[in-house]
Amino acid sequence: MTAKTISDGILRAIAILLGISLVLLFLYKIQSVLAYLAIALVASLLGRPIVMFLRKRLKFNNTLAVIVTMLLLIGIIAGIIALFVPLLVAQGQNLSLLDIEALQVNVENLYRQVTEYFGLSSSEIEQGIKESKVFANLNFGFIPDVLNSFVSVLGSLSIGLFSVLFIAFFFLKDSKLFEQGLMVFIPENKEGRLKKSLNTIKDLLSRYFLGLVLQILILFVIYSIVLFIFGIENAIVIAFLCALLNLIPYVGPIIGGVLMMTLTMTSNLGSDFSTVILPKTVYVMIGFIIGQLVDNFFSQPYIFSNSVKSHPLEIFLIIIIGGLLFGITGMIIAVPGYTAIKVILKEFLAENKIVKSLTKNI
């Protein structure tokens, strides 16, 4: 091997690394555009069954079917904004006006009531609490900050709403647009297989995302009924947030349960713990558990078995792996990403024993 060959190899490796770095930097700079594309793709998958229904059953032409579908999607989004954003803004304003010091005192009193109720209080514990000043050191100011940040995020998302709807319109109208973009990178002899794979992926993911919407709706209704029955303030907002958190597999329900329990208890600060706070919290959490049981034994099996055609254990492992690799985002995209990979593997590696075993239900 000559010195020239070695130097050419080094230069080629440097050029490749530089090219990869520039591509990654470019993708980082346009991450908002990539997010718009991803959201628009999901919206188009949700709207696809409606478009197909209008075209096949009601004999609408393609453009009219897409326009009607987009109007339906816009109406749903406008309804959500009109219903929830004012409540979220009001909640953020209310919490931002709270006397944080008074809240700390109330939480400390709540803690004392809990310890007394369960027979855990003693003079030593009381003295230890005073000396440690544990509640004095807690900064409850994060509560309005978190909610106000959430509202600001909603505001930022609204800026890109037009872009998302515009892109989704053309994804629905020109359903081959995304497909044609991929074909540029695929050899001609593989195009037929890829087209078949993309059609299967569209069908499976459309059913999957529609199932997720149904899952959130069922939980929202159950949570709202429970919270309204027990007179919890801002019941709709709390129910919506807890139902939405369920999109995060396994971790989301835990966070939602803690959030619902905390907001239920803090909504009754100043009341007697044993006669008001504890019973109301227990009943609300029983309602939350009922909602989770309905979700675990009805909603999720329905979604996974009828949409992505995967075994629950298989889904569990994929979600865990996605979480370990990419965090919360990985857990959310694990199922649709895995479904797309399975479909492509079945089309291109159908004779492989492992692939055949994993894709037998597709």
Summarised one tens digit per residue, pLDDT across range 61-76 is 888 988 998 898 888 8
- CA dist 315 and 296 (Å) reads 13
- CB of 211 within 8 A of CB of 291? no
Backbone angles phi, psi at 267, to 5 degrees: -75, -10
DSSP 209: H
Share of the chain above pLDDT 70, in %: 71
**Any idea of the CA torsion for 12, 16, 18, 23, to the nearest 10 degrees?**
160
Provide the pLDDT confidence category of residue 298 given band limits of 50, 70 and 90: confident
pTM of the model: 0.64
Could you tell me which residue, 1 or 83, shows the higher pLDDT?
Answer: 83
- CA dist 271 and 292 (Å) reads 28
Condensed to tens digits (0 to 9), the pLDDT of residues 245-276 reads: 888 877 888 888 988 888 887 776 666 766 77
Provide the pLDDT confidence category of residue 287 given band limits of 50, 70 and 90: very high
Which of 15-19, 44-48, 322-326 is the most confident on average?
Answer: 15-19
The answer for residues whose C-beta is within 8 angstroms of residue 232's C-beta and 6 or more apart is 238, 263, 264, 267, 280, 284
Share of the chain above pLDDT 90, in %: 5
The b-or-e profile of 130-166 (16+ CB within 10 A means b, else e) is: eeeeebeeeebeebbeebbeebeeeeeeeebeebbbe
- CB of 125 within 8 A of CB of 114? no
DSSP string, 300-359: HHHHIIIII---HHHHHHHHHHHHHHHHHHHHHHHHHHHHHHHHHHHHHSTT-HHHHHHT
Condensed to tens digits (0 to 9), the pLDDT of residues 205-223 reads: 888 888 888 888 999 999 9
Could you tell me which residue, 83 or 251, shows the higher pLDDT?
Answer: 251
Provide the pLDDT confidence category of residue 302 given band limits of 50, 70 and 90: confident
pLDDT of residue 226: 92
pLDDT of residue 135: 47
Which of 135-139, 161-165, 306-310 is the most confident on average?
Answer: 161-165
Which of 17-21, 96-100, 109-113, 143-147 is the most confident on average?
Answer: 17-21
- CB of 273 within 8 A of CB of 117? yes
Least confident of 11-15, 272-276, 345-349: 272-276
- The average pLDDT across 132-153 equals 51
